[in-house]
Every structure is written in C-alpha cells, then in structure tokens.
Structure 1
C-alpha cells in the first residue's frame, strides 16, 4: 500500500499539480523538486486543470475497448451449452470453433462451477491414498478395427404414460411395485481408434443373442471398411461361452477379456454407455418406452456422424472412418 506522504500518492500528485497550475512553476522545476519525470508532472497538472483534486485518484487500467475479446453473442452460446448440455470447455469449444482455453476463460469469467461440483456423474475425481491425483493410463490403437470394445448395458423400461420423471418419485415407485415393465439389454460395440459405435436394443443377454449381435456388428464395421482383428469384453457368461469363442475364432479375431472387477479396462464402451444414458435414455422425459426406443436410432446417428469427441480433438467417428459416409464407394 502506498504511503500517504510518498511523492506519487494522491497528496503528492496534488502538490505537484498545484505548484504547476496555481503557483505557475515550470514543469521541469516541479519535476526536479518532486523527483519525477517531466511527463509525469505534466500528466497530473493536466488532470488537475480538468477535474480538480478529484482527478488525482487512481483510474482503472482496464482498456475502454478490446477488439480481440470474444463477442457477447458467442459468450452466451458458451454459457447456454454449459447449462443445457452440461458440457465441458473442450467440447463446447469444438462445437463453436473456439480454443478450449477460450471457452474455459469464459466459463470462469461468469463464475461457472466445475462439472465435478454440480454433477458427480460427469466428473468423478480420482484421488490417491494421500490426496494426490492418481495417474490415469490411456491408450488408443493406431487403426480402426485393431480393437473393438463390446459390452451390455441393462436399462429399465418406462411404463406407459411416463415414469417418475413425469409424475414424480412416488408415482414412479408405485409403477415399479405394481407392474413388471422389464428391461432392455443394450448390446454395444465401440471401435477403439475411431469411437465408431454399433448398438442394438435387445431383450436378453443370452449367448445366442450376443453371438447374433456380434455377427451384425461385424457386418456393420466391414461395410465401413473396417477389418476387426481383436475384441475386448468383460467376463459375462455370454462372452465366456464356447459358441462366442468359436464365432470369433472362425473369423480370425482374437478375444481378450478384462480383469475381473476392472471395468476401466473396457473404458471406451463404458464411456459410451454413460453418454448414451445422458444424451438419449435420460435426455428428456419420455411418455412411453416406445417413444424412447424410437429416438435411439437418431441418437446413434448423431453420435457417429455429428457429435464431436473431446478425445478426438472435436472430430466425429465419421471423420476417422471416411467410408462411413460412402466416400470410397
């Protein structure tokens, strides 16, 4: 904090200005007397002539205009995506054509809290024994088809007329007690390199169903020009069956299974499951299961062709698999 009697405090500035303006000292003499530059003496004298003693106070150093600042309209779009989609700065930036650092600064400028503070499902913090962040080991195979992650997600069906998201928690509990609505067993296959996904809503997770799904998934990837050489699954009974192993062996595909109780190994399909729940299953209050099921193909198309992935620097799976759009036909 500046001392009240220092040469360039408000009191010292007023003394310089009064010597020049009221006592008609030459600028050079006043500057030498108060041990400041002539330019400084002129500045405070001019402010004294224009504003009087009030002009001796410090002014904000903020520029009157900033031509390179992000337009207000763009800032509103950043905040809108944050609130409506619960996206992070990287994904917002890729969607709007900005740098992730720019989107991050906008979110901080307007006081947006981290996603980990607002929704634990979108940003779990992993800490070591003494509070230090644990190193997360990530990998990505070099070409499409080098590894395909396969998994099954169990999802409860919505009763006709809507569940608790429409009628509230109590009505949802009553619906669950009175009627068995069943489950979807969503079979998913995600390519490690491109994140290209193939998924189906099926009624069970039996070995015959898993094999039939894999045959259709393999045909889908081959239609996009992807030759699969390795498949990674968990240790579910359908994947440990002889018929599933024979199917992969006949196609010259190596089958790998995750270590028990380590779903992180199959992390890419697990992340797809979470995205599927957030952006399709629970994205809006559906009135029936048929309405939600009808929206599933649209979500899958958006995911593969239009949704930018932060892990792909904002690109879509279709950008890494050109033949998916039929460009090489």
Structure 2
C-alpha cells in the first residue's frame, strides 16, 4: 500500500508507464502530466517494460545485505543468557557490551516472552487460568504490614525523623480472601497470623461469600503454619471445602490474592501520607468497598468484581 503522500497509486503508475511505453510520450511530458519527477517516470516505465502490470506493485524496501546486523554468534549468546539467567535487555547489554536497544530487537525478533510473563523458577510462560463460576476456588493469604507510628512515619516526616519513630510500632496482618472467578475480596486487619485468628477470619469470610450467593468449594493457601494446622483443616472439612496448597516458593500459584495484596499497598496502604495507623485503618473499609463495587479490573474487561456477583449487597451504593 503506498504511503499517504504518494503521488501515484498502482493504477496511476500503470497509466504513466503506458503513456511512455505504448503511446510514446517523452519522459518529461509524462512526468509533468502525473506530477512526478522524470526519474520517477523512467523508473515505472522501465519496470513496465520488464515486468508488465505486475511490476507496478510496491516492493520490499528491505536491503539485500545488512552489513551492520548483529552477528549470529552474538544473537545466540543473547538468547542463551536470556534463557538461562532470565535477564532483561539492559543487563544482557552491559554484559556483552551492546546497546540495550540492540538486545531488545534480538529478543523481539526471536519472539522471546517478556520476563513478566515467565515463571521465575522454571522460565516457562505463566499459564493463566480462571474458574468458570464464583466459589469454585477462593485464594487466601496474609499480608504483613508495618504499623504507622503516631505522628507519621518517614513518608510524612522524612526518613531521618521517620526512622526514629518507627521502632516499636509493630505490625498488622491483613487476612485476605479473593474469589478466583469474580475477584471479589473479603479482607480484615488483624493483630496476628495464628491459627485461631486465621480460622476465625475464614468463618467470617465464608459468611460474607454466602451472603453474596457464593458457595465456596475450594480454598487455596500457601504453606504457612496456620494453614497447616488441624484447626484449619477441621474447619474446612466440616464445611465440605477442599483445601489446596501452593507449591513451596511459588507464590505466583496463588497469584490472584498476591495481586490483590499489591493493589492494596499501592492504592490504600501507601497511597497517601497517613499520620497515624488508625487513620489508615479507618480508610480501609471505604477502599475495599470501592475495589469490590466500583474499581475497574483489567481481567474483567474494565468492570468491578461486583459485575460478576449479582447478589452482592451494597452494589448500587
């Protein structure tokens, strides 16, 4: 396809060439008639003589020889380092004394997946999945979060002053449960991660999902001690819920709740300079409501989790 400012289409080239070759027009006259240079008129006339109508189409502008192309041996080294070490273009470039843009072009040419799309342990592309209905699988996890000292931490006072106030502030533990299909989340800020606390949280989480019309069938957790306890096991067995654990050192298996953890850190925990821990906690229920009812989710085509849970209370608020 000719570019937008091209004076001649394929039909125009053919007409120009026929005027010169078949009708005997001088090159300059044909060039003036079709508003191109005599050199251009000669090129299309010569191509028409050699190839006929087929010669009027565009040809590839790719050079027949690329003397400055990255050598094949270097390309192989780039690919080997990427596969074995799973480095990005910049680190590979520093090692091989190349331009990062050159390394990026090689990786793109051979269609090597982005590092974000690879499993860190195996280097294989991450296999993404989604359960068909709410409740088939609920991801559960605990996020440990440092408390804010009274008066504010380093985000309010600056690092020199904030460090002095950070000692002794303690930690909070966010117990989170995220439905695999809808991404509907139930979360509480609790003082510890003991088995009694975790089981009590799940009892309330299960009630929350039940009120939304969701019957939980499976729960996935990591291998934390509270989730390996008999108390946790007996609670799930009594409710007829299957328990699945992630493989050791593979948090991406529980990726949906891990992504929720990152979202709450970015959009709530560190979204503004809170002056007290209580101020941050007071803002959490409103943020969680926004997440479930109003915040668009990329995996849900820009819709909130509530769009997949018709019975969720407060959906219109």
What TM-score bracket applies, with the shorter chain setting the length?
0.5 to 0.7
Tell me the residue number matched to 1:54.
none
- Alignment partner for residue 208 of structure 1, among 176, 179, 196? 196
**Could you tell me how far apart the structure 2 residues matched to 1:263 and 1:127 are?**
13
Give runs of aligned pairs for residues 76-155 of structure 1, distance below 5 A: 125=116, 134-155=124-145
- Relative to structure 1, the CA distance from residue 127 to residue 223 in structure 2 (aligned partners, 3 Å threshold; closer, same or farther) is closer
For normalisation by structure 2, the TM-score amounts to 0.63
Contact 1:318 1:325 (C-alpha < 8 Å) held by counterparts: no
**Could you tell me how far apart the structure 1 residues matched to 2:265 and 2:119 are?**
28
CA drift at 1:40: 3.0
Give runs of aligned pairs for residues 118-267 of structure 1, distance below 5 A: 125=116, 134-176=124-166, 179-267=167-255
Give runs of aligned pairs for residues 286-301 of structure 1, distance below 5 A: 286-301=274-289
**Could you tell me how far apart the structure 1 residues matched to 2:274 and 2:302 are?**
29
Give runs of aligned pairs for residues 8-47 of structure 1, distance below 5 A: 32=26, 34-36=28-30, 39-40=33-34
CA drift at 1:32: 4.0
Contact 2:141 2:176 (C-alpha < 8 Å) held by counterparts: yes
Q: CA RMSD in A?
A: 2.7
Instruction: Classify the secondary structure of the residue corresponding to 2:290.
Output: helix
Find runs of 4+ consecutive structure 1 residues off by over 6 angstroms: none
- Relative to structure 1, the CA distance from residue 250 to residue 163 in structure 2 (aligned partners, 3 Å threshold; closer, same or farther) is same
For normalisation by structure 1, the TM-score amounts to 0.61
- 5+ residue gaps, structure 1: 1-7, 9-30, 45-122
**Could you tell me how far apart the structure 2 residues matched to 1:251 and 1:125 are?**
37
Instruction: Classify the secondary structure of the residue corresponding to 1:307.
Output: coil
- 5+ residue gaps, structure 2: 1-6, 8-24, 38-113
CA drift at 1:36: 2.1
- Relative to structure 1, the CA distance from residue 33 to residue 236 in structure 2 (aligned partners, 3 Å threshold; closer, same or farther) is closer
Tell me the residue number matched to 1:70.
none
